[in-house]
Amino acid sequence: MGPIMHNTVRLRFSRVLSTLWRAGVAPMEAVEIAARATGHQQVLKKIEAQTARLGQGVALGEVLQALDIFQRAELYVVNSGEMSGGIPEALDQVGEYTRNELESQLQRLPVLAQLFLYTVLAPLVGILVIWGFKRYFELFLKRMLEGVM
> In angstroms, rounded to a whole number, what is the distance separating the alpha carbons of residues 96 and 149?
77
pLDDT over 60 (residue 80): yes
In the structure, what pLDDT confidence band is assigned to residue 149 with cuts at 50, 70 and 90?
low
- Model pLDDT, residue 87: 86
What domains lie within the chain, and their CATH numbers?
2-107 (1.20.81.30)
> In angstroms, rounded to a whole number, what is the distance separating the alpha carbons of residues 24 and 102?
28
pLDDT, tens digit (0-9, with 9 covering 90-100), for 2-34 = 788 888 888 888 899 899 988 988 888 888 888
Contacts 24+ apart (CB under 8 A), 47-55: 54/27, 54/28, 55/28
pLDDT over 70 (residue 1): no
Single pTM value for the model? 0.66
Please compute the mean of the pLDDT values over residues 65-75 and round it to a whole number: 86
